[in-house]
Amino acid sequence: MPSLLHTAYSVSAIRTAEQPIVAAAERIKPDGLMQQAARAVADVALSLLSGVNTPRVLVLAGSGGNGGDGLYAGAFLAEAGIAVEAIATSASGTTLPRATEAFTKAGGVLVDAPTAPAQLVIDAIAGLGLSAGLAPELAETVSHMVSRGAKVLAVDVPSGISPDTGDPLGPHITADVTVTFGALRFAHTVSASCGDVVVADIGIAESLHTMNGPRVYAYRAVPADHSWPDTVTPLPAIPAINSMEPRPTDHKYSGGVVGLLAGSELYPGAGVLCVAGAVRATPAMVRYVGAAREFVLHAIPEVIASSLATAGKVQAWVAGPGGATESELLDLIRRPIPLLIDADGIRLLAKSTHLIDALRQREHPTVLTPHDGEFATLVAAIGIPEAATANRLAACHEAAQALGAIIVLKGRRTLIAPPHGPITSIDAGHSWSATPGSGDVLAGVMGAWIARYAAQDKPLAEAIAIAVHLCADAAWLSAQTNFGAAPTSASRIADAIPAATARLSNK
């Protein structure tokens, strides 16, 4: 698991853990904890403004504690010589008195509308307290600033985003960076509107760790190209892996043999990409069964091609990228080894109660790797209401329990949901994986790692997280050129898997 700071909790859990800390801090110094949080916001703001000549900052300050955080942060920035304006965003126009006094005393100016373009907007409107979207005129103010080049720094959670689900509540802020306090909120693990997320320690993480209730572990594959101040910490990468060099006694069968049912006459490339991912992921043998045999062997001669009936030793199967039949999938579901089902395999499941029933009866691990569209189809087939899918965390957890499978919901922030226990979220740190065929590569890489961990009798959840991280990092590496980043493709992502593996084993 990641550090306590990088575990996500519900709003109710956060508030319960905060109450005694806030009460103790208030007895020592009024607004003391608020000022501690504001200092972290100001430090991040200064780092975002580094290199900007004569910067200006606009604080959008609500009437509650979130607005207080923003005004105190604005006071710190004004004391540092930065021009800071603030708009009171509540209908009543009220803000916290002590924070407002500190802001104006430091040189900050309260305005009804910005008097000049700002390079940074601090969203301190509501944080955890908003139950609806932003007023349209407020959203328009932020949009106008962003169109003129301003960055947005959100305090706690971007306003208009549900902190418990990450779902937009209506018009909302999309932040470049979000600073949160003590630990993560669920929204940080699912919502792209949060941007880069950093956490300031305010002493509640240990209390949260002892509480019962749901939690999510959060990681990031490719770190932000930014130097953060010491008062905050960004999401960590998953733990480093050991060297992938085979031991003197190892051979092609000892590292975990994966079998791939992938590709078809219509989609032969899916088979090639899936096999390429598996071959480049580990030193072990890769077996291929499928209708794209000639394409696969021509592109990747290292693979061993056979049929389902004649395939030899296999320690994990992958089924579905680019093609599978219902009878083939049923055959693999009945085999007593780990099974990963992707793409066409998931679509077959969603159409067949017979396959779903067989899947539920499996006693060995099953991994399903849908993208959003496939996930919506799958959960509809097992009776989860469409409205429930807006809460990605809850829907993944419910689907995992209903099917007895590990759900890997792919995206910029990929969710790994086991039937029991915490969900893991991995933010890729970029969106270069959004290209055709990248899911086929991921299926091959993940299948190879699942086979490797099955052979070593190690937790498959770790293998899944490694595969997600490696493919995210490989996608980023594959997009780099001598002139900067540029569009990539799935075959280039597969080619970059060894480099990503070396980076993870040597970090």
Which residues define the annotated binding site?
65-69, 123, 127-133, 156, 159, 270, 322, 371, 410-414, 439-440
* Pair of tokens at residue 437: 């065929």
- Residue ranges of the annotated binding site for AMP are 410-414, 439
Q: How many angstroms separate the most distant Cα atoms in the chain?
A: 80
* Pair of tokens at residue 289: 């069964």
DSSP, collapsed to helix, strand or coil, labels residue 13 as: helix
Q: In what helix (H) or strand (E) does residue 6 lie, and over which residues does it extend?
A: none
- Residue ranges of the annotated binding site for (6S)-NADPHX are 65-69, 127-133, 156, 270, 322, 371, 440
Scanning 220-362, the segments in alpha helix (DSSP H) are 268-281, 293-299, 326-333, 344-351, 353-361
Length of the chain (residues)? 507
Phi and psi torsions of 424, nearest 5°: -110, 135
- Residue ranges of the annotated binding site for K(+) are 66, 123, 159
* Pair of tokens at residue 498: 């060894």
Q: What angle do CA 231, 233, 236 make, to 5 degrees?
A: 170
Closest CA to 118 of 85, 73, 90: 85
- Do residues 268 and 322 touch, judged by C-beta distance below 8 A? yes
With tokens 């733990």, the residue in question is 239
DSSP 180-230: EESSEEGGGGT-GGG-EEEEE--S-HHHHHTS-S--EEEEESSPPSS---T
